[in-house]
């Protein structure tokens, strides 16, 4: 991870032709779990990602110039979809990769015939909330004490977007 994580100075948008999406494989799980642990204080585990794959969730890997840059996990329901995880390496944030991932999962869900997309976000994660607002997500409900926090629990905002 340290060879990839060099800092956050460059905020130049990354051209779409430098990005590639593929299904997450078992070979990607070590990297994804390591990235998750670097990004979040309360990360998903290797097992969480493996269980998502085993459950048949749509697990995507985003590459920038061939290097892993982010990932997303999408659970398809009967009529709707739930975005369970969407993450971009910190040094690549603010360069359009989160939006590229969001576009990919929204199009995948819409093409699969889903009419709405749901997700939860920490109340304190204002950067993610800004991305979701940009994508037309609106507050569906507040989930009290949904996430573990350093002291106690933190509320989640459940957001919804029509597809």
Please, what are the domains in the chain?
16-162 (3.40.630.30)
pLDDT for residue 148: 95
91 flagged as catalytic: no
pLDDT (0 to 100) of residue 108:
97
Q: How far is 130 from 37, CA to CA, in rounded Å?
A: 22
**Per-residue model confidence as pLDDT tens digits over 128-148:** 999 999 999 999 999 999 999
**Stretch (H or E) spanning 37:** helix 29-39
**Cα–Cα distance between 128 and 125 in angstroms, integer?**
6
Give the separation between CA 88 and CA 94, rounded to whole angstroms. 9
Residues of the chain with pLDDT > 70: what percent? 94
Tokens 């997700």 correspond to: 119
| pLDDT at site 7 | 43
Q: Please tell me the distance from the alpha carbon of residue 113 to that of residue 129, in angstroms, as a whole number.
A: 25
* Mean pLDDT rounded to a whole number for the chain: 92
pLDDT-based confidence at 10, cuts 50/70/90?
A: low
| pLDDT over 80 at 74, yes or no | yes
Burial bucket for residue 35 (CB in 10 Å: 0-12, 13-18, 19+): buried
| Catalytic member of 36, 71, 132, 154 | 132
Q: What is the DSSP string of 48-65?
A: HHHHHHHTT-EEEEEEET
Which pLDDT band, with edges at 50, 70 and 90, does 66 fall under? very high
Percentage of the chain lying above the pLDDT 90 cut: 87
Q: How confident is the model at residue 17 (pLDDT cuts 50, 70, 90)?
A: confident
CA angle 148, 128, 23 (to 5 degrees): 90
Confidence grade of residue 2 (pLDDT, cut at 50, 70, 90) = very low
**Cα–Cα distance between 118 and 157 in angstroms, integer?**
10
pLDDT of residue 45 exceeding 80: yes
Q: Is 132 a catalytic residue?
A: yes
CB atoms closer than 10 angstroms to residue 95? 18
pLDDT(5) > 60: no
- Given 34, 91, 103, 120, the catalytic residue: 120
Cα–Cα distance between 120 and 111 in angstroms, integer? 22
């Amino acid at each position: 991870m340290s060879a990839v994580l060099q800092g956050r100075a460059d905020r130049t948008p990354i051209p779409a032709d430098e990005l590639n999406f593929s299904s997450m494989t078992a070979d990607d799980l070590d990297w994804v779990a390591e990235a998750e642990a670097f990004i979040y204080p309360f990360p998903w585990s290797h097992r969480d990602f493996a269980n998502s794959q085993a459950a048949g969730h749509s697990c995507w890997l985003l590459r920038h110039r061939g290097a892993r840059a982010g990932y997303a996990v999408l659970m398809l329901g009967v009529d709707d979809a739930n975005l369970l995880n969407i993450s971009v390496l910190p040094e690549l944030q603010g360069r359009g990769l989160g939006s590229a991932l969001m576009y990919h999962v929204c199009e995948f869900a819409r093409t699969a015939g889903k009419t709405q997309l749901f997700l939860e976000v920490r109340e304190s994660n204002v950067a993610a909330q800004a991305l979701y607002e940009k994508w037309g997500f609106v507050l569906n409900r507040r989930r009290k004490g949904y996430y573990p926090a350093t002291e106690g629990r933190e509320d989640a905002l459940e957001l919804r977007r029509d597809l």
